[in-house]
Amino acid sequence: MNWTRRSVLTATSLLVGGARAYASGPRVVVLDWALTELALLLGVTPAAVAEAPYYRTRVATPQLPTAVVDVGLRAQPNLALIASLRPDLIVRLRHYGPPQARLEAIAPTLELAIYEADRRPYDRSLQALARLGDACGAAAEAPAVLARLDVTLARASARLAAHGERPVLIANFADDRRADVFGKGSLFQTAVERIGLTNAYAGPTNMWGFATLGLDRLARFEGARLVALSPGPPVSLARSALWRAMPAFHDVVTLPPVWVYGGLASMARFATLLADAIESAR
Amino acid sequence: MTPRSLFAAALFAAAAALFAVSATRLLPPAEWLSALLAPPPSDVSAMIAHYTLFPRVAVALAAGAALALSGLILQIALDNPLAEPSTTGVSAGAVLALALFGPAGLGGASQSLVALAGGLTAVGFTLALASRGGMKPATIVIAGLVLSFAASAATTLIALFNHEWMRSLFLWSSGSLRQNDWSATSNLVALLAVSWLAAAGLVRAFTLAALRDAGAAALGGDPKTIRLTGLALAAGLAALTTAEVGAIAFVGLAAPHLARAVGARTVGARLLWTPIYGAGLLWLTDEMVKLIPLDLPTGAATGLLGAPLLMALAARMRRPSLTLAPLSAPPRRRRPQWGALLVAALAALAVALVVERTADGWTLATLDQAFDYRVPRSLAAFGAGMAVAVAGALLQRMTGNAMASPDMIGVSAGAALGFLALLYVAPMAGAGAQLVAGGLGAGVAAVWALKGVGRGAPPEQPLLLGVGVASAFTGVVSFLLASGDPRMALAVTWLSGSTYQADASRALVIIVVAAGGLAAALALARPLQLLPLGSVARSSGLRVGQAQALTLALSSVLTAAATLVIGPLSFVGLIAPHAARSAGCRSPASLLAGSALIGGALLAAADWIGRVALFPYEVPAGVIAMLLGGAAALVALSR
């Protein structure tokens, strides 16, 4: 019996709670970061994760223990290394990484889906959480994970309730001329709804829940609050005459790094960071 | 009105009409003038028009003209109709500089400066290498190509680990004309004015250059000086334009051919009309792009829309309009170094098969799992390397063009397009479906390339057709990469040639195809000896059309097979024949066999290095082959 207590470094860490770490459970290799988040939320520490060192800086929370083995690129993990780890289970995201058959040749492979054409990543994350819990013998943890998620979202919502906040436009600037704007099909959309805000962008999105819009379109969302994901609008843009002429852009808030193709933990992290940013912008 | 001014008027009228449609959506025509000159700051629409809509038109016109002028000067100076601004290594250098020093969201003037520095560095390298080789056109072209390949391999290596963080780079390199102020316009207009005047002053020199070296020298021109001046002008134009708008392919290649096709014959007329057509082409393309609701990068669109135009031009092409650079790499040794080549090939295979890196460090390989990963991948690499090298040797021999490589007949691009389309439409499709989709793409491209050849079209025609297919392919790829779809990480590795998917059956297939292809190619050795000689070949009783069709068909099959197993490997197909020649392989038969050995060894070694160097991270074999082969080729060129 091995109980771990994780230090609460950020609000997201709350989600992990005091879940049981299955040190003696199945040896799981996870090939995608959104699914790594889900495993960690369930208290399952993977034996190996693709691009593990990059997960630690780019997804950040929940924290990935340093003992977790790195199996190489997420798109092309090292199959020989995975085989040599003799895993009990491989977890992969649909549409991503090596073909199912090549992984099945090594170990039973669980294929989970989050970002799909139906643009319901939240529902699919819940299903993925349940299936992952079943496969890892951690099914009992799933309700607690969801309860902690609800608490995190409810706290963010309560902090914003008093403000009567304007609609938000969530933008990840690709360069100084266009940005990916998140909407239906993104977990950020669900987060925005769950904390009582409105997303100013209701237009079409791609399978991953965003659309790429030029400055001319961005400037049209007058009255919305522009929320930029890290690193925020490029300096050259913020200095430009057009930017200065657009009142809608003036009180942009910039959030710390959030993994845009993430899972439930990234969603909670986004909600908390958004509430922080809006509160301190007042 | 002459046909050429009529055609230009039609281009601009079409673009203007489309502009009016999209501009009216933003602002009523009555307000256009005030929005252009002095927009009221409180009027959001007028401000958007002033800072994004109008400068975009100006940049399209100026960049189109600058790229066309650059392409024309290069085609004259290098005496090669396939030359275009990127031939000098400009775009690849700029992209690599941005990947290295331009973190996401750099934007603005600093981004342009980094790109400019990268582009100029690449051009400097190319010219320095070429000047050692006596400024021969073929040397310049090869130096530029090799440098471009090596630089893009380095970029791919960086992109492999930072795919999601490189949107701005992918967007930039897909060529976008979006603007947020007038700075690019003023830079480009000044650049264009100066270069056009400079080009006008050089009309006589370029007229001499168009007469080829001997003719120019006879009339008192110094071909080297003319070439260097032309190159410096063209490369400077390309570097500055690329720095402002990113990599916009095709305009610089097609506008000179277009101007010539509608009747600009003298060098003076071509220098006048080519930039005008370039401006019209790019503006029209950009206006069409704006009508599409997707965020399609203009550079991707020029590739797509340009492909049919290039093919139409190729179909109209008559033999005298295309003069090709002769192969000129002088052999340093008399006899082929068969011993050294064989030892190198066997050593590469042996190391790849026996030495392994695992989580516990370096080991000698055991048989355990050998046939799951290591053996099939090494053999597939060797076979694919052989296949594309033989295809490259065939094409270079047939056309006498040092730039000819398997991707130029469009077959690898066709196969890759089929694969990518499937990846996009049906991501769940298995390996079998991928092979079918890729095979279909390759087949269509090959049939297209072969179409005119049997009926006596010049052997260069399939090359121009192939460049058309390849240009469409590049367009699709840059659109997909710029789309932000994380699945494209897979495309990045596959497009640079990776043995990741190779299993025992695929390895067997490619080895058999490569060996059979080499045998068939050796049977074509005699026709290949004669084909580059043109009329001599005909008078010696060779059925030229038939021989060309056979050669082309064989290279298509070899290229398609290699592409399907490992992905497009254009670099190996380009460089292996050159390496074989410098190892003393001159006759067609020895060139084919030598290229096969070198191609196989290069790719097998590259695959092994890619698997062990950054373990557990796997670098695609094609990337390593480009880095290693590119470095070796650059060293060889600088001697």
What is the chain B residue with the closest CA to A101?
A: B430
Task: Give dist(CA A240, CA B32) in Å, integer.
Answer: 21
What is the chain B residue with the closest CA to A99?
A: B430
**Helices marked H in chain A:** 33-41, 52-58, 79-84, 100-104, 121-136, 142-161, 187-194, 215-218, 235-238, 241-245, 264-281
Residue type at position B341 = L
Distance of CA A5 to the CA centre of its chain: 23
Nearest-CB residue to A75 (from B111, B372, B490): B490
Is residue B438 exposed (0-12), middle (13-18) or buried (19+ Cβ within 10 Å)? buried
Per-residue pLDDT at A87: 96
Residue type at position B88 = T
Continuous segment of H or E residues that includes residue B138 = helix B137-161
Tell whether B428 is within 8 A of chain A (Cβ): yes
Nearest-CA distance B156 → chain A (Å): 14
Query: Can the peptide bond before residue A231 be classed as cis, meaning omega within 30 degrees of 0?
Result: yes
Per-residue pLDDT at A186: 96
B75 touches B93 (CB < 8 A): no
Q: Tokens at residue B212, please?
A: 């080829």
Choose from B186, B419, B500 for mutation: most chain A CBs within 10 A.
B500
Q: Which domains does chain B have, with CATH numbers?
A: 3-321 (1.10.3470.10), 346-638 (1.10.3470.10)
| Coil vs helix vs strand at B478 | helix
Residue A80: its chain B contacts at CB < 8 A?
A: 358, 369, 372-374
Query: Which residues 485-514 of B have a C-beta within 8 angstroms of A?
Result: 485-487, 489-490, 492-493, 498, 500-501
Task: Give dist(CA B271, CA B130) in Å, integer.
Answer: 25
Question: Do the domains A11-147 and A163-281 sit in the same CATH topology, yes or no?
Answer: yes
Residue type at position B313 = L
What is the chain A residue with the closest CA to B432?
A: A99
Nearest-CB residue to B617 (from A73, A173, A242): A73
Q: Across the strands, what pairs with B496?
A: none
Nearest-CA distance A132 → chain B (Å): 21
Q: Tokens at residue A200, please?
A: 């100013």
Tell whether B538 is within 8 A of chain A (Cβ): no
Question: On the CB side of A163, how many CA atoms lie within 13 Å of its CA?
Answer: 19
- CATH 3.40.50.1980 at A163-281, yes or no: yes
B144 touches B89 (CB < 8 A): yes
Task: Give dist(CA A200, CA A222) in Å, integer.
Answer: 9
Tell whether B53 is within 8 A of chain A (Cβ): yes
The b-or-e profile of A4-31 (16+ CB within 10 A means b, else e) is eebeeebbbbbbbbebbbbeebbebbbb
Q: Report the predicted TM-score, pTM, of the whole model to 2 decimal places.
A: 0.84
A11-147 CATH: 3.40.50.1980
Task: Give dist(CA B10, CA B320) in Å, integer.
Answer: 28
CA dihedral B119, B123, B125, B129 (to 10 degrees): 160
Using DSSP, how many helices (H) and how many strands (E) does chain B show?
Answer: 28, 2
Q: Do B616 and A70 touch (CB under 8 A)?
A: yes
B306 touches B471 (CB < 8 A): yes
Query: What does the pLDDT look like over A112-169, one tens digit per residue?
Result: 999 998 999 999 999 999 999 999 999 999 999 999 999 999 999 999 887 777 899 9
B84 touches B141 (CB < 8 A): no
- For chains A and B, count residue pairs whose Cβ atoms are closer than 8 Å: 164
Residue B160: its chain A contacts at CB < 8 A?
A: 73
Residue A84: its chain B contacts at CB < 8 A?
A: 358-359
Nearest-CA distance B504 → chain A (Å): 12
Continuous segment of H or E residues that includes residue B100 = helix B90-101
Tell whether B185 is within 8 A of chain A (Cβ): no
Q: Tokens at residue B422, please?
A: 């499937």
Q: Do A177 and B179 touch (CB under 8 A)?
A: yes
Q: Do B616 and A78 touch (CB under 8 A)?
A: yes
Q: Do B617 and A72 touch (CB under 8 A)?
A: yes
* pLDDT tens, residue order, chain A (282 aa): 232 222 223 444 445 544 444 456 789 999 999 999 999 999 999 999 999 999 998 888 899 999 999 999 998 899 999 999 999 999 999 888 888 888 999 999 999 999 998 999 999 999 999 999 999 999 999 999 999 999 999 999 999 887 777 899 999 988 888 899 999 999 999 999 999 999 999 999 998 999 989 888 888 888 899 999 988 888 778 777 788 877 777 788 999 989 999 999 999 999 999 999 998 886
Tell whether B179 is within 8 A of chain A (Cβ): yes
Among candidates B76, B52, B386, B382, which has minimal Cα distance to B207?
B76
Among candidates B594, B626, B620, which has minimal Cα distance to B607?
B620
- Mean pLDDT for each consecutive 10-residue tract of chain B (639 residues)? 87 96 90 91 88 94 96 87 82 87 64 88 87 74 82 84 74 84 91 93 80 62 79 90 87 89 88 95 93 80 78 60 41 73 90 85 75 88 96 85 71 79 70 74 75 59 68 74 76 81 88 95 86 66 77 86 83 88 88 95 95 91 89 79
Residue B107: its chain A contacts at CB < 8 A?
A: 175-177, 234-237
* Residue B361 main-chain phi, psi, to 5 deg: 115, -160
Tell whether B260 is within 8 A of chain A (Cβ): no
Q: Do B106 and A95 touch (CB under 8 A)?
A: no
What percent of the residues of chain A are helix, what percent strand, and what percent coil, each to the nearest 5? 40, 15, 45
Tell whether B617 is within 8 A of chain A (Cβ): yes
Per-residue pLDDT at A1: 28
Residue B430: its chain A contacts at CB < 8 A?
A: 99, 101
* Residue B265 main-chain phi, psi, to 5 deg: -100, -50
DSSP track, B12-67 = HHHHHHHHHHHHHHHS-GGGHHHHHH---TT-HHHHHIIIIIHHHHHHHHHHHHHH
**Helices marked H in A85-120:** 100-104
Per-residue pLDDT at B216: 61
**Helices marked H in A162-201:** 187-194
Query: Which residues 282-311 of B have a C-beta within 8 angstroms of A?
Result: 295
- Give the pairing of strands B361-364 and B355-358: antiparallel
Nearest-CA distance B55 → chain A (Å): 12
Among candidates B152, B242, B122, B179, which has minimal Cα distance to B481?
B152
Nearest-CB residue to A216 (from B52, B164, B501): B52
Q: Do B428 and A95 touch (CB under 8 A)?
A: yes
Nearest-CA distance A23 → chain B (Å): 21
Q: Tokens at residue B184, please?
A: 């690019």
Domain ranges in chain A are 11-147, 163-281
